[in-house]
Amino acid sequence: MSPHDPHALTRHPIDWENPDFYDEEKLDEETRRVFDVCHGCRRCFNLCDSFPRLFDLVDESPTGELDSVSSDDFKPVVEACTLCDICFVNKCPYVPPHSFDIDFPHLMLRHRAVEQKKNGTGFVQAQIVQMDRNAKLTSPIAPIVNAVTNEKNTLSRTVISKVAGIHPKAAIPKFTRQSFVSMAAKNPLTFNKTAPGYGEKVALYATCYGNYHKPSIAEAARKLLAHHGVDVEVVYPRCCGMPLLEQGNIAKVAEAAVSVADDMMPWIDKGYKIFTLLPSCALMLKHEWPLILPDNSAVKQLAEHTVDACEYFVHLFKTRGIAEGIRPLGNNVTLHLACHSRAQNLGAKAAEMLRFIPGTTVDVIERCSGHGGSWGMMVDNFEVALKIGAPVFKQAVQKNNHFISSECPLAGDHIRQGIELSNKVDAALSFTHAHPLEIIAHAFGLMDLI
């Protein structure tokens, strides 16, 4: 049974409310069972750094087997997992319903949940993941914050590195003075009633990144939807909780899931699809939340009505048609497929979408950029993230297309940085880095790309 067949996969609910989930002896027993299977297989050797670390532990042990590896040495393996889910969805031949029943990412999540319950989250790390609060505090002084956190500001970034553990060279997302929700409310759009998408209705979940950091992505989506006749409403109850999941704080993720699902229910009841701007957030709403709260009917209903942004546009273009006004870019695109897009098992929807642009070649890079959310920004991980992403940076330069794009904006920034830090600064400056939604909105003449 192929792990690449989405219909072949079974994923068990995360049993985080069961006391046995936090039993360290039972966790160690399960970890050893899974690690022994992974050691014998090694198919995932070229994914995240968890697997090389695990295999090195075994190979350098006295017996060359897991039995002589101390459980105390497992922590670096756990720390290297970025919860990208690629091993589970695309690589592992032993995922359920196979009798080996391997789910490596959720085992790593369990380790983090046990650590979080036992020792809590460090004060600084707990503050970093307060996405909505941080944005509301910094937005009024966004230009100052952006200047202080700019990686070229070596003095302030050295201080930030010592206080927050963020690598001084890692790009930190910029803040905007005005949220996308506020911008959209002040600039309503009239949807095109003669366009092929007329009659469709979506609630655009702006996500914390689209709302506070890169509203141009959300605005590209909004303009594209309206241009195609889709009735689009902008909604943003709160962050989906992916940064909290990375820390193993499952209870707080469940809290976010209940809150957002309850806020989305009136839109679903009125016939709106929930259009999710970025793949990590779509993965949370469609897949992770229902596994965390399998008995919550609102969470289940939200998952059934949630669509990934590029998934939605490809379906719209294929079933209803494409609106007038699209024009050639005059240049080609190198597209990095984000891990959380691949983990949804949708296919390369961003590539499909961009290929509707006349005369445009889209070259796809299907490999991890190395960023892994907030993981790749940290002092202990940034250099590893660059090492993992090196093949992507190399391919992007070799393809030499004018546009370099990723559905994940954090991965996109990391690729740009990787090209720059690989002593290819001139090459990095010669490319235009933009999100796929921004590129196709530009092709329709709906926005300019700087």
Give tens-digit pLDDT for 171-184: 999 999 999 999 99
Please state which architecture CATH assigns to domain 326-443. Answer: 3-Layer(aba) Sandwich (3.40)
Where in the sequence of the chain do the CATH 3.40.50 domains occur? Answer: 326-443
Q: Report the percent of the chain where pLDDT is more than 70.
A: 96
- Residue 7's pLDDT band (boundaries 50, 70, 90)? very low
Q: Residues 143-150: what's their mean pLDDT?
A: 96
| Residues in Cβ contact with 359 at an 8 Å cutoff, skipping those fewer than 6 apart | 328, 329
Q: Residues 218-231: what's their mean pLDDT?
A: 98
12: its two tokens: 């068990």
Where in the sequence of the chain do the CATH 1.20.1050 domains occur? Answer: 180-318
Mean pLDDT over the full length of the chain: 93
The sign of the torsion formed by the CA atoms of 28, 30, 34, 37 equals: positive
Please determine, looking at this structure, whether the domain spanning 180-318 carries the CATH number 1.25.40. no
Return the CA Rg of the chain.
22
Please tell me the distance from the alpha carbon of residue 325 to that of residue 312, in angstroms, as a whole number.
Answer: 19
Give tens-digit pLDDT for 291-326: 999 999 999 999 999 999 999 999 999 999 999 999
- Residue 272's pLDDT band (boundaries 50, 70, 90)? very high
Give tens-digit pLDDT for 340-351: 999 998 889 999
| Alpha helix positions (H), 103-241 | 104-119, 123-128, 131-138, 142-149, 154-164, 180-186, 207-208, 215-227
Tell me how far apart the terminal alpha carbons of the chain are, to the nearest angstrom. Answer: 47
* Long-range residue pairs from 255-263, CB within 8 A, at least 24 positions apart, any chain: 257/284, 257/289, 257/292, 257/293, 257/296, 257/299, 258/293, 258/296, 258/298, 258/299, 260/285, 260/302, 261/289, 261/296, 261/298, 261/299, 261/301, 261/302, 262/298, 263/235, 263/237
Q: Residues 192-216: what's their mean pLDDT?
A: 96
pLDDT of residue 450: 65
Give tens-digit pLDDT for 363-388: 999 999 998 888 889 999 999 999 99
Please tell me the distance from the alpha carbon of residue 243 to that of residue 16, in angstroms, as a whole number.
Answer: 17
Three-class SS state of 307: strand
Q: Residues 134-161: what's their mean pLDDT?
A: 95
Inform me whether the pLDDT recorded for 2 exceeds 50: no
The closest of 412, 418, 410 to 388, measured between CA atoms, is 418
pLDDT of residue 4: 44
Inform me whether the pLDDT recorded for 5 exceeds 80: no
Determine which helix (DSSP H) or strand (DSSP E) holds 261, and give its type and residue range: helix 250-269
